[in-house]
Amino acid sequence: MNDTRAPEELRWPAPQAPGAVRGRVSIPGSKSMMSRVLVLTAASHGASSVAAPLLARDSALMVAGLQAMGIRVVTTDDALWMVHPRAPQGPAAVDCGLAGTVMRFLPPLAAVAHGPITFDGDPYARKRPMAPLLRALTALGVSVDAASESLPFTIQGTGRISGGEITIDASSSSQFLSGLLLSAPRYDRGIVLRHQGPPVPSRPHVRMTVDMLRAAGAAVDDSRPNVWEVEPGQLGGRAWHVEPDLSNAAPFLAAALVTGGEVTVPDWPATTSQPGDLLRDLFTQLGGRAVLSHDGLTITGSGSVRGIDADLSEAGELTPVVAAVCALADSPSTLRGIGHLRGHETDRLAALTAELNRLGGDVTETDDGLRIRPRPLHGSVVDTYDDHRMAQAAAVLGLAVPDVVLSDVACTSKTLPQFPQLWTELVGARP
């Protein structure tokens, strides 16, 4: 992001918990649902409404990208957005920021536009994996101009693509699958999308894509392992309601865990495809108690945290906060199945290792994850790498470790601009 303030001005001292953290925090809308809603409504044939929309950098970038392609998105009412679809059109320029969903979900839609659509993003966005998607679009007959197989690139759409059968390796990001599936109803023959390679991470996110496509009226067959089939057809407009972002609930619930307190997140859905729902199980394994009721999800900490051995491949985005909790546990932890985090907002395995060790921790990177051996930690400036979840992880550490200062907290605006305010309100200031 383009913040011109000096590094010292961006710093944010993380509040230390004055005692057990207790309270309720309402979490705004899910980034993942929001991104899908916007792409599906843009690809529909009638107007749609979006209740409880996420107001954050990633959703603003998605809206701006769609608007650049000629789709009308009315955002004047913060509680209810309207999307009026139109056939996407170039020429247009799309700024992806650092948003994986924008850079992976919009090019497959741009493929059915008339005219060139250029994609670029933040400097680090150019390092995030794109090759499987760009190769897939090329194999589907789309003209893609790219100097390397990453941002920036231009899709030269001719107004339609035939679609059909395609095989990709989605082991570096599930978003390649989701992106192609979301726009596939617009392809003349739909899509038969096969994954071949090491396991696809973030499977709940692919299920979310399938569930939401079906909710929008698409015919999707996901009955064969690693094959997804979407029939061509018109999606109707409809009323959407965005669930709270359960992954963004992680630091708040973790506050209960690491301070022996109790935190409730209201409106936790009874059933959901969000991977953040796995927090109930993870935080129980870590020594907390999880109760899901009509009141929401309540996590109660016992005062001590147990280390875990966990495969986080289904919910890699929870890793930074879970790693922070593990660093405060009373026994070692191993987090596995998350090699693909090297392609997230930053190389999260390297970043977590460097920052936890900077605080005095003992963390090593493995091929596919982290080994965390808790040690007494001390304060320091923690680099947040423009990564909202690194900032959340550092805030959790700051509850228990004096003098933790985030290099920047504004990066939380990617998915939760209210983070600093909600955090301070929940945990209270240092006494």
Ligand X SMILES: O=C(O)C1=C[C@@H](OP(=O)(O)O)[C@@H](O)[C@H](O)C1
Residues binding ligand X (CB under 6 A): 32, 35, 100-101, 173-175, 178, 201-202, 205, 316-317, 340
Told to check if 344 binds ligand PEP by CB under 6 A, we report yes
CB of 45 to ligand PEP, least distance (A): 27
Distance CA 31, CA 416 (A): 9
Nearer to ligand X, 48 or 202 (CB): 202
325: Cα separation from own chain's centroid = 20
CB of 53 to ligand PEP, least distance (A): 17
Q: Which of 11, 60, 9 is nearest to 38 (CA)?
A: 60
The full DSSP string for 310-373 is: EE-GGGGGGHHHHHHHHHTSSS-EEEES-GGGGGSSS-HHHHHHHHHHHTT-EEEEETTEEEEE
First-to-last alpha carbon distance for the chain, in angstroms, is 33
Told to check if 389 binds ligand PEP by CB under 6 A, we report yes
3-state SS, residue 117: strand
CB of 96 to ligand X, least distance (A): 14
**Burial class of residue 76 in the structure, from the number of CB atoms within 10 Å of its CB (0-12 exposed, 13-18 middle, 19+ buried):** exposed
Footprint on residues 228-257 left by ligand PEP (CB under 6 A): none
In this structure, which amino acid lies at residue 410?
A
Q: Which stretch binds ligand PEP (CB under 6 A): 70-78, 93-101, 276-284, 350-358?
A: 93-101
Q: Yes or no: say if 70 and 86 are a contact pair by the CB < 8 Å rule.
A: yes
Residue 314: active-site member? no
Which residues are known binding-site members for phosphoenolpyruvate? 31, 100, 128, 175, 348, 389, 414
| Cβ-proximal residue to ligand PEP, closest one | 100
Candidates 62, 99, 181, 216; binder of ligand PEP (CB under 6 A) is 99
Nearer to ligand X, 246 or 377 (CB): 246
* Partner from ligand PEP, ligand X, none contacting 99, C-beta within 5 to 8 A by type: ligand PEP
* Partner from ligand X, ligand PEP, none contacting 178, C-beta within 5 to 8 A by type: ligand X
Told to check if 317 binds ligand PEP by CB under 6 A, we report yes
What Å distances lie between residue 111 and 74, 143, 162, CA to CA?
Answer: 24, 8, 10
CB of 338 to ligand PEP, least distance (A): 11
Nearer to ligand PEP, 103 or 142 (CB): 103
Cis peptide before 152 (omega within 30 of 0): yes
Nearer to ligand PEP, 210 or 393 (CB): 393
56: Cα separation from own chain's centroid = 12
# binding residues, ligand PEP (CB under 6 A)? 7
Nearer to ligand X, 314 or 403 (CB): 314
Sign of the dihedral through C-alpha 216, 218, 221, 227: negative
What Å distances lie between residue 27 and 135, 242, 279, CA to CA?
Answer: 37, 11, 15
3-state SS, residue 65: helix
Catalytic residue among 262, 317, 345, 355: 317
Nearer to ligand PEP, 207 or 389 (CB): 389
CB of 261 to ligand PEP, least distance (A): 25
Which residues are known binding-site members for 3-phosphoshikimate? 31-32, 36, 173-175, 202, 317, 344
Candidates 59, 101, 274, 346; binder of ligand PEP (CB under 6 A) is 101
In this structure, which amino acid lies at residue 52?
A
169: Cα separation from own chain's centroid = 20
- Contact residues toward ligand PEP (CB under 6 A) are 99-101, 317, 344-345, 389
Q: Which residues form the catalytic set?
A: 317
